[in-house]
């Protein structure tokens, strides 16, 4: 059976197909690895062209979450969910139905926001299950994690610029951003405040105009975005945008953005970037700010603690860049090794009772 061979080759523990004709819900929850703790990852809602695309997306995203939590030092595993729907047609009923499926997993999977899902949607899920984060402050949550994702991405970009360009400031640096949505817009502000010159692309003209008027960002086409002679490129939209057809076009020295699964083919495209001497900040390391934010919601949210954990993304990346240089491997490989080392060291403890020490124990109280 194709699904089993696919999940076996990627190392997943469990896939749940959710179908509820009454609400129109069609969703897939993927739990990749729970060695470090319950699987936490957001729910993405997209009108996928077909079920295979949705499955592949959730499999890749959930595996990324395992690495993300491990690199960020969190006691969490990797999971993610996708809802197959038109964003214009999402309803309370659909999210409440999804919440019931999440509840049926008894805390093995905890959800949050991702593309096209927001705090209101999480609040609807919360009506059916405790295993949801990124809910509104009124319900005891920390709200939208996008700002912290942008902050972590900014710190990570700073580390990459220091490592590759030998600079510790952004003044006059030319940075292009693909996608000025929930995360991208905050990143624009942070970079503009530090004196960077922005070049932006999006499929939403309204968002582009807003960034242009707020931060004097230059609007460019997708093709220009890849080929302009700039310092940094930040992919902040959908995945797989670094691929064979565009990598050769890049003149930037650094690629550092928040999008999940940026490399279409992890090994091949990481190697192409390395050969071109483009420093790539692996997505699951640099974009962990949102995960750190929602993970702290489970254990008792303290802004200061979140800020310091998010700031640590820069030093983690520095360690990874140095290790990659030392071993002559790609930064993608170096960060996977970093994550796998931690997962392996904890896997021997798996037989001990984790319930009281892990996040799931706290949520059950």
Ligand X SMILES: O=C(O)CCC(=O)C(=O)O
Ligand Y SMILES: NC(=O)C1=CN([C@@H]2O[C@H](COP(=O)(O)OP(=O)(O)OC[C@H]3O[C@@H](n4cnc5c(N)ncnc54)[C@H](O)[C@@H]3O)[C@@H](O)[C@H]2O)C=CC1
Catalytic positions, please?
Answer: 80
Q: Tell me if 238 contacts ligand Y by CB under 6 A.
A: yes
Name which of 181 and 361 has its Cβ closer to ligand Y: 181
Q: Tell me if 190 contacts ligand Y by CB under 6 A.
A: no
Name which of 263 and 294 has its Cβ closer to ligand X: 294
Q: Which phi and psi angles does 196 have, rounded to 5°?
A: -75, 155
Q: Tell me if 82 contacts ligand Y by CB under 6 A.
A: no
CA distance 79 to 97: 19
134 contact choice in ligand Y, ligand X, none (CB below 5 to 8 Å, kind-dependent): ligand X
**Among 259, 339, 359, 360, contact with ligand Y (rule: CB under 6 A):** 259
Site residues for ligand Y, 196-215, by CB under 6 A, read 201-204, 207
178 contact choice in ligand X, ligand Y, none (CB below 5 to 8 Å, kind-dependent): ligand Y
**What is the SS3 assignment for 202?**
coil
Q: Cα 317 from chain centroid?
A: 15
Does 184 belong to an annotated binding site? yes
User: CA–CA distance from 174 to each of 96, 212, 219, 232, 242 (Å)?
Assistant: 44, 15, 13, 7, 19
Q: Tell me if 145 contacts ligand Y by CB under 6 A.
A: yes
- Report the interface residues with ligand X, using CB under 6 A: 41-42, 68, 112-114, 134, 145, 149, 260, 287, 290-291, 294
| Parallel/antiparallel/unpaired status of strands 197-201 and 174-178 | parallel
CA distance 126 to 103: 10
User: CA–CA distance from 54 to each of 9, 43, 47, 109, 203 (Å)?
Assistant: 17, 12, 9, 18, 21
| Parallel/antiparallel/unpaired status of strands 174-178 and 109-110 | unpaired
183 contact choice in ligand Y, ligand X, none (CB below 5 to 8 Å, kind-dependent): ligand Y
Q: Which residues bind ligand Y (CB under 6 A)?
A: 113-116, 145-146, 149, 178-184, 201-204, 207, 222, 236-239, 258-260, 287, 290
Annotated binding site for NAD(+): 179-184
């Amino acid at each position: 059976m194709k699904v089993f061979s696919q999940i076996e080759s990627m190392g997943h523990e469990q896939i749940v197909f959710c179908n509820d004709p009454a609400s129109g819900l069609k969703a897939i929850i993927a739990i990749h690895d729970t060695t470090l703790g319950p699987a936490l990852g957001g729910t993405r809602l997209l009108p996928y062209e077909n079920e295979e695309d949705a499955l592949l997306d959730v499999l890749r995203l959930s595996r990324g979450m395992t690495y993300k939590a491990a690199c960020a030092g969190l006691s969490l595993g990797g999971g993610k969910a996708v809802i197959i729907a038109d964003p214009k047609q999402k309803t309370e009923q659909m999210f409440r139905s999804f919440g019931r499926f999440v509840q049926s997993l008894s805390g093995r999977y905890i959800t949050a926001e991702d593309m096209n899902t927001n705090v209101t949607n999480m609040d609807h899920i919360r009506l059916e299950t405790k295993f949801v984060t990124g809910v509104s402050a009124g319900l005891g949550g920390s709200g939208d994690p996008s700002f912290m994702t942008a902050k972590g991405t900014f710190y990570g970009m700073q580390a990459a610029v220091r490592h590759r360009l030998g600079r510790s400031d952004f003044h006059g640096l030319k940075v292009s951003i693909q996608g000025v949505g929930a995360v991208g817009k905050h990143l624009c502000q942070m970079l503009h405040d530090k004196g960077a010159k922005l070049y932006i692309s999006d499929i939403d003209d309204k968002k582009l105009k807003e960034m242009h008027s707020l931060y004097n960002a230059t609007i460019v086409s997708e093709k220009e975005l890849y080929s302009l002679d700039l310092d940094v490129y930040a992919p902040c939209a959908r995945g797989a945008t670094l691929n064979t057809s565009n990598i050769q076009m890049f003149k930037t020295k650094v690629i550092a953005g928040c999008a999940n699964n940026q490399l279409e083919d992890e090994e091949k495209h990481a190697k192409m970037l390395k050969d071109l001497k483009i420093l790539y900040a692996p997505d699951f390391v640099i974009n962990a700010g949102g995960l750190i934010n929602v993970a702290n919601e489970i254990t008792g949210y303290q802004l200061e603690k979140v800020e310091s954990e998010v700031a640590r993304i820069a030093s983690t990346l520095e360690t990874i860049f140095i290790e990659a240089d030392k071993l002559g491997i790609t930064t993608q490989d170096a960060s996977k090794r970093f994550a796998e080392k931690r997962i392996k060291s904890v896997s021997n403890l798996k037989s001990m009772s984790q319930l009281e020490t892990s996040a799931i124990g706290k949520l059950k109280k």
